A and B are shown apart, each in its own frame.
Chain A
């Protein structure tokens, strides 16, 4: 089987006229991050072949993030891409660990976590104490402004020099996780 070239992975990015700068920097960032990405897939998941699909997830998320930001360089893009990639690896690892139950009923009974530890596992899935750990600094600051100072998104946007839509879009992933954790629905469509 032919091995995947990092450049093959760029297809996941949709192109829009105002974000044409994104593809070249992401492509360069992928090339830079690729050797380490393969190594991580190998050491963390035991399967280097998983690297392409996880990198595709990271590319998609990076492109979404960049679509709301001002143009940045390859080095910074690679940092963001690597962060999203490591997140994808962690999620994959967690999902794999949950599925690995083998053996007899007795053994499985012994191995099955208690209801409490299962609850902990679910809670850990959306551990709000760590929710911002992988968030880029500008968006982390924006989230803290909402949490700590209760600045409106409009004020956060004004303070960070971004549009309100851009800042909300940037923080969307984190806000969605908080909503999910507490069963809160997002605002309905504007009438």
Chain B
């Protein structure tokens, strides 16, 4: 399996791994939904402190939320990623 220039496949596999291995039904340490939304819409504006550092690499629920938020972002504003 060969990846693309953005390493998309590697990150997709990583995301699937988090979903499989890190259930967090009690949402321990999760950033707020609003923070996750801001992160998806303007990732550079949301720092590591807001994200509780690398929490999303160990939280199925956050990763699922981020998936959903990205879907909403990409369907509602298809041109959200624009050249400066």
Question: Which residues of A approach B to under 8 Å, CB–CB?
Answer: 128-129, 131-133, 137, 140-141, 144-153, 155-156, 158-160, 175, 178-179, 181-188
- Whether A152 contacts B47 by the Cβ 8 Å rule is no
B1 and A184 contact, CB distance less than 8 A: yes
Extra 18 A-B pairs, beta carbons < 8 Å, given A133-B54, A140-B48: A129-B22, A131-B57, A140-B54, A141-B47, A146-B6, A148-B66, A149-B66, A153-B6, A153-B7, A178-B7, A178-B11, A178-B14, A179-B7, A182-B9, A185-B1, A185-B3, A186-B2, A187-B4
Q: Tell me whether B44 and A159 are in contact (CB under 8 A).
A: yes
13 A-B residue contacts at CB 8 Å? A132-B54, A144-B51, A146-B11, A148-B51, A151-B43, A151-B81, A152-B6, A178-B7, A178-B11, A179-B7, A181-B13, A183-B1, A185-B1
State the 3 A-B residue pairs at the shortest beta-carbon distance, nearest first: A159-B44, A149-B43, A182-B13
**Chain A residues whose CB sits within 8 angstroms of the CB of B3 once the complex forms:** 179, 184-187
Select A132's contact among B7, B9, B47, B57, beta carbons within 8 Å. B57
Q: Which residues on the B side are within 8 Å of A133 (C-beta)?
A: 54
Q: Encode contact with A along B25-58: 1 for CB under 8 Å, 0 otherwise.
A: 0000000000010011001100110010110111
A135 nearest in chain B by CB position: B54
The smallest C-beta distance from A107 to any residue of chain B, in angstroms, reads 34
> Which of B5, B6, B22, B56 contacts A144, CB < 8 Å?
B56
Q: Decide: B17 and A128 in contact? CB cutoff 8 A.
A: yes
B: residues with CB less than 8 A from A are 1-7, 9-11, 13-15, 17-18, 21-22, 36, 39-40, 43-44, 47-48, 51, 53-54, 56-58, 62-63, 66, 70, 81, 84
When the two chains form their complex, are residues A187 and B2 in contact, meaning their CB atoms are under 8 A apart? yes
B15 CB to closest chain A CB (Å) equals: 6
A182/B10 contact (C-beta < 8 A), A132-B57, A133-B54, A144-B56 known: yes
A172 vs chain B, min Cβ distance (A): 10
With A and B bound together, what is the CA distance between A28 and B47 in angstroms?
30
